[in-house]
Chains A and B, each alone.
Chain A
């Protein structure tokens, strides 16, 4: 297992946003996490990436206990994430946004920059090359000099994926990568996620668009009120009565999918 989560919990005051969640993420696969609004999906990601400290449970990544580790260390360990509401450095260009993702892999420090050491120059060259590769990979290379804030939503989502990929993750947490995109774009994002997995990066995906989830996921985990209520293949989940009751409701596809 790449990631093993045991009994993970997070309380906000009296509210159990995440409660006693067990989760195994096998390497090289797509694990989808679904559930109604407020089920605790984003909170779970925030716990895995170290943005929140769990109030109970453990997180093990590549055999190493990373429970409660701060984000700057989880990123170094190889966990990258994107946000549900796309975040980018608004007044920076697309390329600079992706370059920022290289900071964590850089070996040169501020003094190297001031004295313009060979290490700094090597680092800068390699960072730029890598950032451009990731932009090409997500199909946004032509936007490199545009201001991030001036891009349409769909392009911003691609750039934020390139930024996360630039940190060289082993595990990528994508929080609703297709939210607010049309069907055609959703399909393109599905393809992109497949290509990410083909590079050997394990993907965890939170998504309300059932067509995408059913298409991509090797494994689906269903959360409801912070608790895991089911785990299985897309076929198993589709026919699980508990899931149908809690989440899918009467409407089989797209159910519970708010905009």
Chain B
């Protein structure tokens, strides 16, 4: 094997370094750091959706609502009920896991478009509850004064850079989990389901259980991101549970690359950047964004990561002949361009 630098690893390293040094590069620019932190939180949620949609091939439109449930759990518990952030955050994670599990039991009885419609209805139901159940959720007044994470020893989370690194930790965890899944039998089962449910069955994949686990895990990750969002933002309103959130996550995934490891990060950061650039245009920014999306769909149907992977020389896409340990230079175990 050649020991020339693998462009895939180089790409991952560049993104990782950029993310790590961002607070230094943006020092004195609090606002921009906050934009990047928010984008990172959305990226975590996109990783959640990526598990059920990107890997397993099931279009869930409830994930914006799961994000919102996580956000409201942290928001309400740390304000009206005066819980600490940490216990509320744990409750958000456990709560969205249970919610994901229970709704998965019902939603996954449906397939294809019916699954999409069912989950959209579920998301809408959650949105309606937030808007109507005023005595608990404060409806349109929203929840303000959501707590920052309490200090751990000398670590002060009101410091923007600290909060950023805290979020980054979860983002790295989500990306790594996706990578590990893709290189495991569990992930192979999911991708098998995405490609052909019949063939997946014929090799012994328990389709129902695999989908249930994927849906639950993806709800957990979305809910976790919601919890972080509430704390960072300090304020949340019903719009953080709406279908718009779901469509944003979809946009990040489509632009970055469905079912890939780096797609969610790249997509979220890029769209956040574009939104900032086009901020003055307000709602007209979609006039610019629209054509960009159309061009992407035409020229990079597998998203940016898919497009970049095609440029990677073949020798890096092919598997080594020797048994490969971690950080291999090889392509994903499941899809042609799943490795990044």
Q: Which residues of A contact B (CB under 8 A)?
A: 49, 51, 70-72, 75-76, 80-83, 87-93, 95-96, 99-104, 106, 108-110, 112-114, 116, 120, 123-125, 127-128, 144-145, 147, 163-164, 166-167
Contact = CB atoms under 8 A, between A and B. Distances in A.
B205 A72 contact: yes
Q: Nearest 6 CB-CB pairs, A to B?
A: A104-B204, A113-B184, A75-B204, A110-B186, A71-B201, A72-B206
Interface stretch (B61-69, B81-89, B120-128, B190-198): B190-198
A144 B181 contact: no
Contact of A96 (B177, B184, B333): B333
B198 A100 contact: no
Contacts of A113: 180-181, 183-187
B204 to A, nearest CB: 3
Contacts of B138: none
B229 to A, nearest CB: 24
B188 to A, nearest CB: 5
B336 A120 contact: no
A96 B335 CA distance: 8
A223 B207 CA distance: 32
B183 A89 contact: no
A125 B198 CA distance: 27
B335 to A, nearest CB: 6
B204 A99 contact: no
29 contacts: A70-B201, A71-B204, A72-B201, A72-B205, A72-B206, A87-B198, A87-B199, A89-B192, A89-B196, A90-B195, A93-B331, A93-B336, A96-B334, A100-B188, A103-B205, A108-B184, A110-B184, A113-B185, A113-B187, A114-B180, A124-B183, A124-B184, A127-B185, A145-B319, A147-B336, A164-B202, A164-B203, A166-B203, A167-B204
Main secondary structure, interface of B, reads helix
A83 B204 contact: no
A104 B203 contact: yes
Contacts of B183: 113, 124
Contacts of B333: 96, 99
Contacts of A51: 198, 201-202
B335 A87 contact: no
B323 interface: yes
Contact of B189 (A82, A83, A103, A166): A103
Contacts of A108: 184-185
A44 to B, nearest CB: 15
A28 B200 CA distance: 27
A83 B203 contact: no
Nearest to A95: B319
B252 to A, nearest CB: 22
B326 interface: yes
B318 interface: yes
Contact of B213 (A71, A81, A101, A110): A110
Given A76-B204, A123-B185, A125-B323, 9 more contacts: A51-B202, A70-B201, A95-B319, A96-B188, A103-B203, A114-B176, A114-B181, A116-B326, A144-B319
Contacts of A91: 195, 335-336
Contacts of B187: 110, 113
A225 to B, nearest CB: 26
A176 to B, nearest CB: 15
